[in-house]
Amino acid sequence: MKPYVGYTASIHFHRSSLRGIQASLIALLLLLCLPFASCTAKATAQATGARVYLLRGLMNVFSLGLDEIGTKLQSQGIPVTVANFVSWSSLAEEAAAEYKSGRARTIILVGHSAGATVLPDMVARLSQLGVPVKLAIGLDSTFRTKLGGRTDRYINFYIASGVGEPVARAKDFRGALENVDVQNMPGVGHISIDKNQVIQRNVISAITAVVFRGQTSAPHKPSPQMSTSGPPVSAAASAMSRD
């Protein structure tokens, strides 16, 4: 009986070890699948033909809401570049190269604070390079700017009671310009406007409407506070005024 008991104990030991080996194999397979999933997401992203450029404000520390927006867009397969506003000129050259090579057909720009201030310059530069901008969204530009060149749609969210300024239309501007005053939206300030969830939903909804227009279905079903035809209107934003 003793040898038999010892043999039974040996069997339990091997089963325990087998479970450990199985767990290790599963973990290994998951790790091996991650690069494949990443490649698949990248391929889906490239298929959209879109490029979104997110321009932070000063010091790269006050516009981290743009990183959140970028992450949410990437989860839907939309390629994103996040950079400081001082890079706007080189980013315009990069966007032009992507467009002319055929790798990108839909150029979208978003900026916060100083990043919003330089958006009209980037739009004008891209227009000079023969590159159409489908959509540009500014979040509380700190200086009064004039918009020239061409963009299908330019949305400027600003806080009239703070440092934000509306965008003026230059004589050579071609496109739709919307100045949206969000001073009555609760919890929105110059530093927090890019992090506000309602504003983020507005921005993402406007972008996905452009990127996925014409497809049979959008990646995510709009919520009551979202619209696929433009910025969503919510109870918190009901006091917005348009120019």
Residue 169 bridge partners (DSSP): 147
Among 230, 225, 224, CA closest to 209: 230
**Residues 114, 83, 198: CA angle, nearest 5 degrees:** 65
Strands 241-242 and 174-181: antiparallel
pLDDT at 214: 46
pLDDT digits over 67-86, tens only? Answer: 999 999 999 999 999 999 99
pLDDT higher than 60, residue 232: no
Among 196, 219, 184, CA closest to 44: 219
Mean pLDDT within 142-151: 91
The domains of the chain are located at: 1-47, 49-242
pLDDT at 54: 97
Residue 103, CB half-sphere, CA atoms under 13 Å: how many?
12
The pair of three-digit structure tokens given for residue 19, joined into one six-digit string: 């479970």
Rounded Cα gap, residues 167 and 152, in angstroms: 15
CATH superfamily to which 49-242 belongs: Alpha/Beta hydrolase fold, catalytic domain (3.40.50.1820)
Predicted confidence band at 162 (pLDDT cuts at 50, 70, 90)? confident
Predicted confidence band at 48 (pLDDT cuts at 50, 70, 90)? low
| pTM of the predicted structure, to 2 decimals | 0.71
Residues in CB range of 45: below 8 A, 6 or more apart: 74, 77, 78, 79
Under DSSP, the state recorded for 85 is G
Helix, strand, coil in percent for the chain, rounding step 5: 45, 20, 35
Residue 128: what residue type? Q
pLDDT at 197: 95
Predicted confidence band at 123 (pLDDT cuts at 50, 70, 90)? very high
Predicted confidence band at 59 (pLDDT cuts at 50, 70, 90)? confident
Mean of pLDDT over the chain: 76
Mean pLDDT within 105-121: 95
Residue whose token pair is 């990183």:
67
pLDDT higher than 70, residue 164: yes
Least confident segment among 46-55, 112-121, 162-171: 46-55
Among 118, 111, 115, 150, CA closest to 134: 150
Under DSSP, the state recorded for 106 is E
pLDDT higher than 60, residue 1: no
Mean pLDDT within 142-146: 89
- Please check whether residue 207 is in contact with residue 108, taking contact to mean a CB–CB distance below 8 angstroms: yes
pLDDT at 9: 37
pLDDT higher than 60, residue 237: no
